[in-house]
Chain A
């Protein structure tokens, strides 16, 4: 469970997070959504402890974030960013092994875990010997996911994980990620600006606006009972054009 209580963060004079109260339940997928600059990425960075809050409390499964030392972070959560954040001078395998080495994971445990994850993300062993620049963007994200999960943390933070991928790869990876999330049973917190992606993944959606939580609930809640004009405007703006809507309908009818 990830819990935000009265969390406020100010950069200079700009309030980027304003008294956020939010409880995200365990073992389900939560999506933070909102327009650019609404504070959704900041919220995730506050939860990881990369940024300290000015006021309020954040707890990860009951532990206060500020009390988690850097050395223990990787055991508490996995963190994945837009282009994967792989280290360019290490091979894919070395990138995945790094947290394991730093945390003194038993090498048998590592091998087993590594192999499980490799099959899960469906990458060949030979590809893992390459350097990040030698593989595609989608493959890099899979490697980054393996690295985030190698220590088997209960929580997974993903900051626009598919943002830099082309639509085809993106759609494939969405399907794949969704099945991985449901198989792993982790608490997943994902940031995106794409409503369709949010609807695809989310058990709950949190729509943020100017550092405040505008509405929190299921996608259906938001659609059927928008709490404010902003919510309905935001949903409308992201509705696909009629021609595309027709296409979606057609595809869904097919077996």
Chain B
């Protein structure tokens, strides 16, 4: 019996090991988190796979690089983003055409959710009823309506300038402001027509009506899951699972789910669960703390391990730098140059070599922590009074005795302040690690969907 239990205990972890692991990615805004979490929960319900969540990655570019590189298996994407931003084929209009382009990269699209997160024009429900405006063409008859648009919308090729050409009307010159302010502007009665993202939860919050794009001017940003073709080999059922979502998440449902996160301040986990269970929204009270502790552990790991490494490399480098002036200049220059590389750029440089996730983030953090530690050690040792070197010499201390008994202890104030600086910098820098899927406090930022 004992042997049996022993063998079972050995086999148990193997059962999870034998399950395929599916890595799900997401971008760093609520809607992308939600769609990724919904898929994650659905896959976990099957009990057939292990799910790894790489949420909150820094933008389409990094995530697309991750999926083509095989670091991420599947993530929620928009058709418009694929044609305009990643593939740069704005003329591809059909799903078949788009799939043909994706075939070259061994990627495949699941069916559309039924949501279209595009630009749209919105007015209050009250105004819509009063003036009978339901579609963009109707605005032609009301040239005196005040408009407020974001700077971006005013410039984009799929924005304002082309829109008025297509609809052939010349409204009063719109007010330009940051996108986040257009809602406020409308709410305070300073604008009548604003630009919105069509699945934004604020549409519901401010009780707006999105005008129908009756001339089909705005490109479609229809949501779907994008996955690697080899995922079908790893887990063939994935096809039927992504198919389940066909037409299941339309604009209204997406607005509702976004609202759970952005207005009701529920966690992504609870909001995604509500998609399956429906009804009254249940907040699992410990969900926040669970995520919080998980990210705290991750963040601590992201700071502590790199600091340990940079101490291990930095102090000896500082010692060598102090002892060999030529190498000293070289090391200080080198670590100085690394410091000047913008952190996001450094992370992106490291992706082709080390992939995404924990390892490249830690390497970047080690590189960034080096400078203060090398510099601290170097200046601590070179600042030691010449008379102490002489006394150490006549007292007969060997090179290492002098180093460990005299130089490092005297330099320790400088060295420790270098380590402290590195640690403080790393705590901040580590939030950026979320951009390449390493987790930590950088993950759950509550951003409006863009």
Contacts and interface: CB of A to CB of B under 8 A. Distances in A.
Say if A and B assemble together.
yes
Interface of A: 48, 50, 70-75, 77, 79, 81, 83, 85, 87-89, 98-99, 102-103, 147
A89 B410 contact: yes
The CB with the most chain B CB atoms within 10 A, among A48, A71, A77, A87, is that of A87
A81 B410 contact: no
B51 interface: no
A102 B406 CA distance: 12
Contacts of B388: 85, 87
A240 to B, nearest CB: 32
A70 B397 CA distance: 8
Contact of A70 (B387, B393, B412): B393
Contact of B394 (A48, A83, A89): A48
A102 B401 contact: yes
B393 A81 contact: no
25 contacts: A50-B394, A70-B393, A70-B394, A70-B397, A70-B398, A71-B396, A71-B398, A74-B395, A74-B396, A77-B394, A79-B391, A81-B387, A81-B390, A85-B387, A85-B391, A87-B388, A87-B391, A88-B410, A89-B409, A89-B412, A98-B395, A98-B405, A99-B395, A102-B396, A102-B401
Interface residues of B, number: 16
Contacts of A71: 396, 398
Interface in B60-118: none
Given A70-B396, A70-B398, A89-B409, 12 more contacts: A50-B393, A71-B396, A72-B396, A74-B394, A79-B391, A79-B394, A85-B390, A87-B410, A98-B405, A102-B396, A102-B397, A102-B398
Contacts of A102: 395-398, 401
A41 B395 CA distance: 19
B396 A73 contact: yes
Contacts of A87: 388, 391, 406, 410
B417 to A, nearest CB: 16
A73 B396 CA distance: 6
The CB with the most chain B CB atoms within 10 A, among A72, A77, A98, is that of A98
The CB with the most chain A CB atoms within 10 A, among B393, B398, B412, is that of B393
A117 to B, nearest CB: 16
B409 to A, nearest CB: 4
A210 B390 CA distance: 25
Nearest to B395: A99
A135 B4 CA distance: 73
Given A87-B410, A89-B409, A98-B405, A50 B390 contact: yes
Contact of B396 (A48, A89, A103, A147): A103
A50 B410 CA distance: 22
A74 B392 CA distance: 10
B388 to A, nearest CB: 6
Given A87-B406, A89-B410, A81 B391 contact: yes
Nearest to B399: A70
Contacts of A98: 395, 397, 405
Contacts of B410: 87-89
B387 A99 contact: no
Contact of A73 (B393, B405, B412): B393
A48 B401 CA distance: 20
Q: What 8 A-B pairs have minimum CB-CB distances, sorted nearest first?
A: A85-B391, A89-B409, A74-B396, A99-B395, A71-B396, A79-B394, A73-B394, A85-B387
Contacts of B412: 89
B400 to A, nearest CB: 11
Contacts of B398: 70-71, 102
A87 B385 CA distance: 10
Contacts of B393: 50, 70, 73
A58 to B, nearest CB: 15
A45 B68 CA distance: 70
A103 B396 CA distance: 8
A52 to B, nearest CB: 13
Contacts of A99: 395-396
A81 B394 CA distance: 12
A98 B409 CA distance: 14
Nearest to B405: A98
Contacts of B401: 102
Interface string B404-421: 011001101000000000
Interface in B9-35: none
Contacts of A73: 393-396
The CB with the most chain A CB atoms within 10 A, among B395, B405, B409, B412, is that of B395
Interface in B294-329: none
Contacts of A103: 396
A214 B388 CA distance: 32
A72 B397 CA distance: 10
A147 B396 CA distance: 13
